[in-house]
Structure 1
Amino acid sequence: MAHGFDTLQIHAGSRPDPATGARQTPIYQTTAYVFRDADHAAALFNLQEVGFIYSRLTNPTVAVLQERIATLEGGVGAVCCSSGHAAQIMALFPLMGPGRNVVVSTRLYGGSITQFSQTIKRFGWSARFVDFDDMEAVAGAIDDDTRAIFCESIANPGGYVTDLDAAAKVANDAGLPLIVDNTSATPYLCRPIDHGATLVVHSMTKYLTGNGTVTGGCVVDSGNFDWSASGKFPSLSEPEPAYHGLKFHETFGPLAFTFHGIAIGLRDLGMTLNPQAAHYTLMGIETLSLRMQRHCENAMEIAQWLETHDAVAAVTFAGLPSSPSHEKAQRICPKGAGGLFTVTLKGGYDACIKLVDSLEIFSHVANLGDTRSLVIHSASTTHRQLTEEQQIAAGAAPDVVRFSIGIEDPKDLIADLNQALAKATA
């Protein structure tokens, strides 16, 4: 029997603890696990049996979280790790090699733009930035060394919605995996795998945990990609020397990417999620649908109000009929366009700074997806390392403020914005 989202967000992956009957998933705060005997240990290390060896690789609390997110996203498996940035490296790691490139959207979180444009060069990888409104340009950026296509479902900071069906077609035609960062949408608003994505990444720090307590990342595997078809992904299709020549795709089939992420990725990169953080995220996910509904309702009410304000030049919320992303949002995120958007102020950079400093309920922080309403001036913070041209392309121009709308009473949020805008334009 297929269960609904609201049931799965509470129950998927978890069962009463067999030792104690505990109903909430326990925090297994342990480094290592006792083997039954020498043969059991050998089978685990040979990947012939699934189980727990060492908490850098696998942990029972983290395992529940992995199964829950994979279930909600419609994937076959997932690997959780220490942050959203770790998840992006974990997603690319089995696919890339020196000289290889990834084609990525210009509309990404500022930290992701920096990671892709600067840091991955140290591995000998490169990124090609393309406007995903132009799918011909995306297809044109692909060459023989391209190994993946990467975008965000609802892009941070502007709330821009990517046409995932069109992106998946380009990726499919090229025989490449499409990786979608689904942090801003969550599986409640969008399931990228249903639109043809191969892998889904999350910063669980944001909406999945929802309370601003811990960092975490996740890579979800659709199980739908043929890693052996082209010879472009030898890490998954060819013999692995560290496991006596085992071929991950031949041995594990649809779960090849997930097993590689644990057996090689976590083993050697060590970007492990701790069980305490997994516990906080599991508790957060239990109320995900309730929170996302409220985030979307509040964001719509506040975006509509801001759009009519004299101090405001533009609002980017995809839920608004005036948004260029509105039609895509109806198709890609039919339950709502999320809680994230930007506002362009007529007073420019200075008015943005005054607004941020004058708000009282909104917290000025470098985070999003919290129950609390948050604000940041991206150009002077999260996107500060970028050129003004890159800032504008990413939707974080100097005259733009980003809002992450929380689940408070919307009347209180509007009153706070009203007084702050008055001070910002005085």
Structure 2
Amino acid sequence: MSIPQERRLVTAIPGPKSQELLARKQAAVPTGIGTTLPVFVTRAGGGVLEDADGNALIDFGSGIAVTNVGNAAPRVVERVQKQVADFTHTCFMVTPYESYVQVCEKLNQLTPGDHEKRTFLVNSGAEAVENAVKVARYATGRQAVVVFDHGYHGRTLLTMTLTAKNMPYKQGFGPYAPEVYRVPLAYPFRWPGENPAEEAYAQAVDMIEKQIGAQNVAAVVIEPIAGEGGFIEPAKGFLPKIAQYCRDNGIVFVADEVQTGFARTGDLFACEDEGVVPDIICTAKGIAGGLPLAAVTGRAELMDEVHAGGLGGTYGGNPLACEAALGVLETIEQDDLVARARRIGEIMLPRLRAMQERFPVIGDVRGRGAMIAVELVEPGTKNPNPAAVQEVIKRCHAEGLVVLSAGTYGNVLRFLPPLVIPEHLLEEGLGILEKAFS
């Protein structure tokens, strides 16, 4: 790695140059574009972000699960540099190119299930989810879409509607799209009963049967681990039951793996943990190392239903992004980043559980692989404690550790380190976190 893998603080966070740039940002960019930590990055790699003031911060965010293979990963850089010198765009729907086909072939091969598949490429996770719903509605001739409490699916009109959380994603942007219905998620930490998988499933099916009618449902859309909702892993057994219900009723089961995909959870895709095989899987974020790309991969008989010209977009599958994706997939395979994600979980989870024993503000520790969270509560209760999250984040940022929040109640700290982060930085970051709690 060209960047020294060490934390280095030479100014306060943010430093004077970043503060100058922040003033320019505020004068040029709408306030609706928020900023978690206003340090302006000049270089990044491994587990480090360097800013305009010369500070080097430990990265526990990966640009929200995007730079799984690290920033400026060598195989990604090499492929993109070669491609940008050849051509930057033709529009695949006008004159195609091989790299788009290669990415689709790889995703057809790597995503769960040994059935025949088709893939097409778009620009963002929201666009992928929206297109999955389009395919499901077209193929089934139905209209209703079922989603889950605590789900997040994007910021377009339809995906805002699919999203459960009002602030900041939905407030003031209605009216929303019709024929979207929300059912319970088996959230183990907050489920009031003793068997969340069985009870949440029974409630969800009851609501579908009574309020919609299974024969009217085109798709069920779910994140295998709810991302923005707070890294909620549904109780074991819940996902397979929902998938089976879909199969039994001719409903398209759509897995939104935008945040969970590409080795993040210790499997290449999070669905693999319980052997769930989606009819359609949506991927983005970690797919191309930071270049804008997303994909919709599904059963051939579903995907081929749509008429020619019914799917696509001007920039979908841009050649630079396709080359980046091929570099990402090579890196995951050749550097065994699936195993690396599991190793990160083996280091982080015991440390966080030990903190939970010390600090009663930590109500829950959860996650798989390198997708891990702690939920903060008012000590002695399960009441959400978003103020504690903001205080911990402030202290971590001041010490040069980038951490993010999440959760329907704003009370979750989420950790998404690059899969290539050196272990000494992982340990140092956990030490900073522990200091922030104490």
Tell me the TM-score range normalised by the shorter chain: 0.5 to 0.7
Are 2:226 and 1:155 equivalent residues in the alignment? Answer: yes
Alignment match, 2:375: 344
Tell me if the contact between 2:83 and 2:320 (Cα under 8 Å) persists in the aligned partners. Answer: no
Q: How does 1:71-90 map to 2 (within 5 A)?
A: 71-73=109-111, 74=113, 75-90=116-131
Instruction: Assess if the C-alpha contact under 8 Å between 1:307 and 1:314 holds in 2.
Output: no
Name the counterpart of 2:341. 295
Between the aligned residues of both structures, percent identity stands at 15
Equivalent residue number for residue 314 of structure 1: 363
Q: Does 1:174 align with 2:174?
A: no
Q: TM-score under structure 1 normalisation?
A: 0.61
Deviation at 1:308, TM superposition (A): 0.9
1:219 is aligned, of 289, 292, 296, to 296
Per-residue CA shift, 1:105-157, capped at 9, x if unaligned?
22423747734156896554423233253222232233143211111223314
Aligned twin of 1:65:
103
- SS class of match (2:366): coil
CA distance in 2, matches of 1:67, 1:362: 41
Question: 2:216 pairs with 145, 163, 181, which one?
Answer: 145
**Using the alignment, how far apart are the partners of 1:297 and 1:83 within structure 2?**
29
Alpha-carbon shift at residue 406 of structure 1 (Å): 2.8
Match of 2:201 among 135, 156, 170: 135
Counterpart selection for 1:278 from 297, 322, 330:
322
Change (3 A) 1:423 1:25: closer
SS in 2 for 1:158: coil
TM-score, structure 2 as length reference: 0.60
CA distance in 2, matches of 1:277, 1:120: 33
Deviation, structure 1 residue 257 = 0.9
1:401 lines up with 2:401 in the alignment: no
Give the length in aligned residue pairs. Answer: 302
Q: How does 1:401-420 map to 2 (within 5 A)?
A: 401-407=413-419, 408-420=421-433
SS of corresponding position for 1:215: coil
Report the CA distance shift for 1:282/1:423 in structure 2 as closer, same or farther (over 3 A).
Answer: same
**Cα pair 1:349 1:399 within 8 Å, conserved:** yes
Q: Which runs of 5 or more residues in structure 2 are unaligned?
A: 1-78, 164-169, 187-196, 379-384
Take 2:430 and 2:88, find their aligned partners in 1: how far apart are those partners?
47
Aligned to 1:10: none
CA contact (8 A) 1:221 1:257 kept: yes
Q: 1:286 to 1:115 in 2, by over 3 A?
A: farther
**Relative contact order higher in (CA < 8 Å, ≥ 6 apart):** 2
- How has the CA–CA distance of structure 1 residues 137 and 362 changed in structure 2, closer, same or farther, with 3 Å as cutoff? farther
Q: Is the CA contact (8 Å cut-off) linking 2:119 and 2:298 kept in structure 1? A: yes
* Contact kept in structure 1, 2:377 and 2:411, CA below 8 Å: yes
Deviation string 1:270-290 (CA, Å, 9 cap, x unpaired) is 562311111111101112242
Letter in 2 for 1:63: V
8 Å Cα contact 1:103-1:146 kept in structure 2: yes
Shift of 1:199: 0.8
| Alignment RMSD | 3.5
3-state secondary structure, aligned to 1:308 = helix
Could you tell me how far 1:420 is from its partner in structure 2? 3.7
One-letter amino acid of the structure 2 residue matched with residue 349 of structure 1: P
